[in-house]
Amino acid sequence: MDRTQFRRAALAFTAAGVLALGWFAAPSRAEEAYIIPPPASDVAPAEGLKTFVLAGGCFWGVQGVYQHTKGVTNAVSGYAGGKADTAKYDIVGSGRTGHAEAVQITYNPKQVTLGKLLQIYFSVAHDPTQLNRQGPDSGTQYRSTVFTSDPAERKVVEAYIAQLNAAKVYRSKIATTLEPLQGFYPAEEYHQDYLTLHPGQPYIVINDLPKIENLKKIFAENYREKPALVRDARASN
């Protein structure tokens, strides 16, 4: 068991004991939501499906948020930022591969814009002010990063970060970085649809289900009850 797996197992054990005793476990900063304005500029809707890659801590919760977002047809947990031969969970957990736990989002721009996906990202999917960590997880593999391959998309992200920093809606400056997308590598099968398959797992209960509730409350018009699962996307292809 690598250090990342051990940390999550330990957290799950501790949380299970807390929940069993009926104590209230206060959510960490990673689960707090921020009420933020939409981006002042956006990418014009295009024909066909588009993809976008985001990283914001453990991919279980980020994937779950976008699976419950209208207009998203698929959200795949994986790795980005490093090389193909190191895109493995037990290696990425070392924090030395350059990879971040990331999610590749496939969406219909006629139903949800890139700007709305970014607003959700900076509001409920994670805390963009944390550097190389999210909630209980720490290391460069948990960094807040947007991976772009389109200059127009990068321009929108850069402008939005500047807009949010100027609006001072957070306690501190945004730590999110922009990196060129050099490749996305899907994670192991047991990581896919993890939030939906394990809703009672203490790590999910404490760290990730609050993200879904925040999405439902703050972005009610963009929320859907039935998630767009990886297994369903595969079955339809």
> Which residues are tagged catalytic?
58
Q: Phi, psi (5° rounding) for residue 178?
A: -115, 130
> How deeply is 235 buried, as exposed, middle or buried, from its count of CB atoms within 10 A (0-12, 13-18, 19+)?
exposed
Contacts from 95-100 at CB under 8 Å and sequence distance 24+?
A: 95/139, 95/140, 95/141, 97/141, 98/140, 99/141, 99/185, 100/55, 100/140, 100/141, 100/142, 100/143, 100/145
| Residues 131 and 141: beta-carbon distance below 8 Å | no
Q: Phi, psi (5° rounding) for residue 131?
A: -95, 120
Taking the C-alpha atoms of residue 234 and residue 95, their distance in angstroms, rounded to an integer, is 30
Token pair 């779950």: residue: 64
Taking the C-alpha atoms of residue 113 and residue 150, their distance in angstroms, rounded to an integer, is 15
Taking the C-alpha atoms of residue 49 and residue 100, their distance in angstroms, rounded to an integer, is 24
Phi-psi region of 139 (alpha: psi -120 to 50; beta: other; left: phi over 0): left
| Residues 70 and 228: beta-carbon distance below 8 Å | no
